[in-house]
Amino acid sequence: MTLAYVLAGVTMLALNAYVLLGGADFGAGVWDLFARGPRAARQRAAIEEGIGPIWEANHVWVILVVVLLFTCFPPVYAHLSVALHIPISLLLVGIVLRGSAFTFRAYDSTKSPVQKYWGRIFSISSTITPILLGVCVGALVSGALALPVGGDFLATYLRPWLTPFAFAIGGLTLAVFAFLAAVYLCVEVHEQELQEDFRRMAIAAAIAVGAFAGIALLLGSRDRLPVMGSLLTQPWALPFQLVTAVLAVTAIGALLTRRYRLARLAAAAQVSALMWGWALAQAPYLVPGVHTIESAAAPAITLRLVSYGLVGGACVLMPSLWYLFRVFKSDSMSAFERVDTAEYRRPKGE
Amino acid sequence: MTDLLAARTQMALSLGFHIVFAVIGIGMPALMVLAERKWLKTGDPVWLDLAKRWSKGTAILFAVGAVSGTVLSFELGLLWPKFMEYAGPIIGMPFSLEGFAFFTEAIFLGIYLYGWTKLSPTAHWWAGVAVMVSGTVSGIFVVFANAWMNAPTGFEIVNGLPTNIDPIAAMLNPASFHQALHMTLAAFATTGIAVAGIHAWMLRKNPQDVFHRSALHVALLVAIPASLLQPISGDISAKFVAKYQPAKLAAMEGQFETERGAPLRIGGIPNEATRETPYSLEIPKALSFLAFADLDAEVKGLEAFPEEDWPPVAITHFAFQVMVGLGTLMMLASLWVLVLWWRKREVAESRPLLTFLALLTPAGFIAVEAGWVVTEVGRQPWIVYGFMRTKDALTPMPGLVYPLIGITLLYCFLGVVVAYLLWAQILKTKPMTQEMRVP
């Protein structure tokens, strides 16, 4: 196990964290779009309260992934940036609109006539962005990025990602994000009616995850993608798939029996298992057919210094993140919560 | 429009857009922390009100800064993949550290903005301090990476490829210190002056308003030291450029001839064809003195370099004049305030000074933009000074004018919305404490 493999693993961990945290924030935006019925306004309020304080921090995971990629595996970053120029550009538009519109909605007055449009932009971009992210991953997994860069425009910049398989992964990503969001919201809301709403959404999303995973598997086998071969034939493949299946069944079972904390744990584990299955199936390739972890790795000294930086950074980051989630996501309310504002205004106890 | 020009324009636009929000993200936490500290000490609600209203504006601006910064981290690859492949292993280090610093900033900003009733007042104040420190550190690391493009060190070229990489030497290159100092001071000066200007404008209508008086006071506390130190930091930068990037200095000054005792040119329109800078006010020998601390030092003119290595002269010269001019005005405003304070007079009662400050509201931002034009355009045609030309770093993707149009429309839209929201939701609404204070 070389340092390059360790850093590839850390990059994957950061992506995993982005999916579990940032992904769920996108998923919450999807439910904002689909909020219906008599409790739609309350659903939207719960979503806003759930992601407001944390989405910016959760979003930084993707920046960490990008930075690790260009520092530790620069040819991979360059290759993906060229081959996926168009979907990544569209993805960025989605990221910009989602974040800005969410903040504009939160800070614009509810009386403002444009306020409802911010909500619309927020929820639509929350829905499109995950699809584009999944399309990029799907194009990468499918091995279509191995084409020489700079040839025919269609063949180089469009065909690799305009495939049914890539869009199936796009759909899978959207379903996964929505699934995570709904499961988390089940734990976070305290009103039973809302909890039931989000539970129904979570079950619907779980079915969608299964459906898109099935479609992706079928398309992948039809196209004889090499990654499918390893998913079926490698020695780790069968136990890994069993574990994923058990986690999926656990998540659904916990939702059906309203054990939401267990559901949250199982859902997060199931999604992580999906991601690591992809990573294992594609290893040692970072870009199938082009760059492996070893061939794309930066010089040893860069890798060593980055790993020191990661250890140092984690020492700051982990306690900070723990504090963030303790403040906003712990069930027991802190002593200062719901203190009347007028009282709070007098710190000296005048 | 060629793909190269489209890519350069898109990069300039994206950086120019982001930097406004980055500067505010560094400067505003200092103001909020100072105001909240006053509240903790005095219990006077006007300070709490101030910190809260400032944090409302910061929330909007920080979100746009975070997403436009994300765009940049991808755009480096989308537009300049060959540069990133070349430079990634060398300058990835400051980017990684910046990643962690920005992460910390985002975490504590979330805690600060949403934690008013969830934390004890002291813990809340410390969260603000964490935002301020991590925001500043994150800016410094990004500037380190840019400094390397001006003073590339920490590697050797063997067979056309960077080898024997030393990321620490690259991070601590000769340009790092002075660029980071200049940018950090700029962030505090710009934010301080801009906020002071807004509240000065309000005070022109009602000089007795305690809310705006308090706001002006805190903003000036941040603006004055930064804008007084900035000329010194600028001098350090100029001496560096004179030594390491003589072509950039020559372009900044519109200096075509190599001469001893070179004059400092104020104004003027450099003409690359005739190799002259007419219509300028020349201060004899001042450039030689400022660049090398010697009245008769030789300053290399652009003629000393092949024309293919010239940066666009007029743009660089003009931007440099704008930056120095506005920086000087900001310094003068600070001195004026200090004189009034020394004579124990209220700033709010000097109407001319209030007008001057109000007019300077955008000055820092324009100076920052102009300063980055000097740094970036002045480095052309190089992306890594002396090693890699910008055109050689460009992506092979054709039709780059379309993403340029897209991002221009997107950022224009966002800019208008942000301006509208700040005006409608913050400037137009009355502070809670204002009614109690102002009869």
ipTM of this predicted complex? Answer: 0.89
Residue A1 pLDDT grade (very low, low, confident, very high; cuts 50, 70, 90):
low
Buried b (16+ CB within 10 A) or exposed e, A307-331: bebbeebeebbeebbebbeebbeee
* Option in B40, B68, B119 nearest A336 (CB): B119
Using an 8 Å CB-CB cutoff, list chain A residues near B75: 92
* Distance (Å, whole) CA B379 – CA B149: 9
A205 close to B (CB below 8 A): no
The mean pLDDT value of chain A amounts to: 87
- pLDDT tens column, A291-348: 989 898 889 999 999 999 999 999 999 999 899 988 887 754 444 443 433 334 444 3
Largest CA distance in chain B: 77
Beta bridge partners of B282: B265
Using an 8 Å CB-CB cutoff, list chain B residues near A344: 116-117, 121
Q: Characterise B276 by phi-psi region: left (phi > 0), alpha (psi -120 to 50), beta (else).
A: beta
Using an 8 Å CB-CB cutoff, list chain B residues near A328: 110-111, 114-115, 118
Q: Do A81 and B45 touch (CB under 8 A)?
A: no
Give the distance from residue A227's alpha carbon to the nearest chain B alpha carbon, in angstroms.
Answer: 26
Q: Do B43 and A89 touch (CB under 8 A)?
A: no
Q: Do A336 and B106 touch (CB under 8 A)?
A: no
Q: Pairing mode, if any, of strands B280-283 and B388-389?
A: unpaired
Token pair for B174: 């000769």
Token pair for A25: 């924030």
Token pair for A27: 């998923």
| Over residues A267-276, mean pLDDT | 93
Q: What percent of chain A has pLDDT over 70?
A: 91
Give the distance from residue A344's alpha carbon to the nearest chain B alpha carbon, in angstroms.
Answer: 8
Are B212 and B220 a contacting pair, CB within 8 Å? no
Is the pLDDT score of B212 beyond 50? Answer: yes
Q: What percent of chain B has pLDDT over 90?
A: 74
pLDDT given at position A241? 86
Are B136 and B186 a contacting pair, CB within 8 Å? no
Which residue does chain B place closest to A92, by CA atoms? B71
A64 close to B (CB below 8 A): yes
Instruction: Let me know if domain A3-308 sits in CATH 1.20.1630.
Output: yes
Alpha helices, H only, B245-362: 246-253, 286-292, 313-342, 351-359
Token pair for A130: 């995950």
Beta bridge partners of B384: B388
In chain A, residues 145-184 whose CB comes closer than 8 Å to chain B: 149-150, 153, 157
pLDDT given at position A346? 40
Which residue does chain A place closest to B42, by CA atoms? A348
Give CA A224 to chain center in angstroms.
27
Which pairs count as long-range contacts for A190-199, CB under 8 Å and 24+ apart, including other chains? A191/A42, A193/A39, A194/A39, A194/A42, A194/A43, A194/A46, A195/A258, A195/A260, A197/A37, A197/A39, A197/A43, A198/A31, A198/A43, A198/A46, A199/A255, A199/A258, A199/A260
| Over residues A183-198, mean pLDDT | 91
| Over residues A117-133, mean pLDDT | 93
Q: Pairing mode, if any, of strands B280-283 and B264-267?
A: antiparallel
* Distance (Å, whole) CA A261 – CA A267: 10
| Over residues A188-209, mean pLDDT | 92
How many contiguous H segments (helices) and E segments (strands) does chain A have?
16, 2
* Option in B45, B103, B425 nearest A60 (CB): B103
